[in-house]
Structures are given as structure tokens and as C-alpha cells.
Amino acid sequence: METLHTPEARALADLQKKDLAIDALKARAAAIPLKIKGVNAAFAGKKAAMLAAREAFLSLQSRKKDLELRIAEAEEGIRKHQLQLNQVKDNAAFKALLTEIEGDKAAKDELETGVLTLLEEIDKASVQDKALQAEVKVVEDAKNIEVAGLEASGKETAAALEAAAAVRAAAAAAIDAGLLEKYEAIRAARAGLAVAPVHEEQATGKLTCSGCHMGLTPQKAVDIKKPETFTFCPDCRRLMYSEKTLYGQ
Ligand SMILES: [Zn+2]
């Protein structure tokens, strides 16, 4: 069969338009949760960087506290040995104590240098920590607005889909069951497009199937102009029609 004549040709072409609109709504609805997931993941990455910076800042502070404790211990050692210095009579013991005190002092100096270095690092880390916290706050606010917008869009899309599906069901119910079955079979096999308008190139008048972009044979170009008639595309087997003929444009 090369052509299909039916008084319901226009109704079927209309149904295809409704189905394409529904498919687009479904695609939009399906994309929204993925977009939300992506937005949340991007924010989680930013927050992880902030937590890592905070962790580094706290770790530096804890290292500084540790050094300060060890400085206090060194000072305590110096004090203890200086007290002992006043009590010893033995020259060798006196010298040994002096050596201990020197050692404690050297250790204390080294620890104090360590604290100074850490203080510089802590200053830098503190600046970075504050900047990241502020940045995360901004990013989080933007993320919440974006997610709320996407969720609202999801609800709108779902409502539009429901309304479109109801209209589509009523339109489909009015079409002959056999014709509808044929339409559904082609639609299932051809990525949702069963009924395709032919495309007419302005300059040359050349006609092509808008489903698969194959050119029409001279016979098909004649058939396509018959009223209330679909012409099967020899390549993709879709039902082709002319918008001009079918809708009188
Ligand atoms: Zn085709």
C-alpha cells in the first residue's frame, strides 16, 4: 500500500502533534531531577572544599597549641634545673646542669620559631577559611533558589503533562481504532514519529520526508497533493502528508 486515504487524516496529524508535545513535556520532566542532582552535586563539591579548608585551619591551631605546651615544658625544665644549680656543690654536676639548661633553651627557641611559622600559616588559613565560608553561603543561596525553581518547573511540567494527556486521550478516542493501531505501531517503531509532514524546499520545490529526509519520487510528489491522503515514505515507512493540502495553507 502506497497511500492511505482517510477522512481522519487531519485528526491523525493533529494527534501526532499532540504526542510530540507530550513527548517534549516528558523529556523536560525527566531532565529536571537530573538537573537538581547536578546542582546539588556541584554544591556538595564546594562544601567539601570548605570543610577541608576548615579542617586544615583547625589542625594548624592544634599544632600551635601542642608547641605551646612543649614550650611551657621546656620553661619548666629550665626553671627546675636553675633551682638545682643553686644547690649543687660538685663541679661536674654543675656543668652537666648547665648543659641541660642550654639544651632546654635551644629546644625552646626552636619551638618558638615553629610557633611563629605556624602563626603565619594560621593567618593565611584563616583568611582562606573565611573566604570559602562566605563563598559557600553565596553558592548555597543560589543553589537553593535554583533547586526551588527546578522543583516548581517540575510541578508545572507534571500538571501540563496531565492536562495534555487528557486532551490527547479524548482526541485518540474519536479516531478509528484500526487507524489508531496502525499509527501507534509506526510510532513505536519510529522514535515517536508516525505521521510526518513533507518538507518543501523554497528555492527548488523539492519535497523530502521530514522523518528521514529522503526525497520524494515524482509519483509520491503527486500522491502527496491528494486530499485526506497519507503517502507512505518508501524509506522509513512513515505516513507523510502535505501541510498545505491537509490544512489548506
Ligand atoms: Zn521517511
| CATH code where residue 142 lies | 1.10.287.1490
Judge if 41 and 147 occupy the same domain.
yes
Ligand 1 center–CA 216 separation, angstroms? 9
Give me the number of domains the chain comprises. Answer: 2
pLDDT tens, residue by residue, 129-179 = 999 999 999 999 999 999 999 999 999 999 999 999 999 999 999 999 999
Neighbour tally for 239: CB within 10 Å? 27
Same domain, 92 and 210: no
Q: From ligand 1's centre to the CA of 209, what distance in Å?
A: 5
Query: Does residue 47 surpass a pLDDT of 90?
Result: yes
> What pLDDT was estimated at residue 6?
96
Q: What is the pLDDT of residue 249?
A: 67
For residue range 226-242, list pLDDT tens digits in order: 999 999 999 999 999 99
Dist. CA 164 → ligand 1 center (Å): 27
List Cα–Cα distances, 130 to 54, 125, 137, 163, in angstroms: 9, 9, 11, 50
Based on the fold, state whether residues 161 and 211 are members of the same structural domain: no
Residue 230: name the closest of 214, 248, 210, 246 by CA.
Answer: 246
* Pair 162, 224 in one domain: no
> What is the average pLDDT across 186-204?
96
CA 169–ligand 1 middle distance (angstroms): 27
DSSP-assigned letters across all residues of 40-104: HHHHHHHHHHHHHHHHHHHHHHHHHHHHHHHHHHHHHHHHHHHHHHHH---HHHHHHHHHHHHHH
Q: Could you read off the pLDDT of 207-219 as tens digits, one per residue?
A: 999 999 999 999 9
Q: Stretch 61-88: mean pLDDT, rounded? A: 95
Residues 77 and 162 in one domain: yes
The CA distance from 90 to 207, in Å, is: 117
Tell me, what amino acid is at 23? D
Mean pLDDT of 86-91: 90
Q: Rounded to an integer, what distance in angstroms lies between the CA atom of residue 72 and that of residue 225? A: 100
16 CA to centre of ligand 1 in angstroms? 15
CA 177 to centroid of ligand 1, rounded, Å: 24
State the average pLDDT for the chain: 95
pLDDT at 115: 97
Q: Which residue has the cell 478516542?
A: 173
**What is this structure's pTM?**
0.78
What pLDDT score was predicted for residue 248?
87
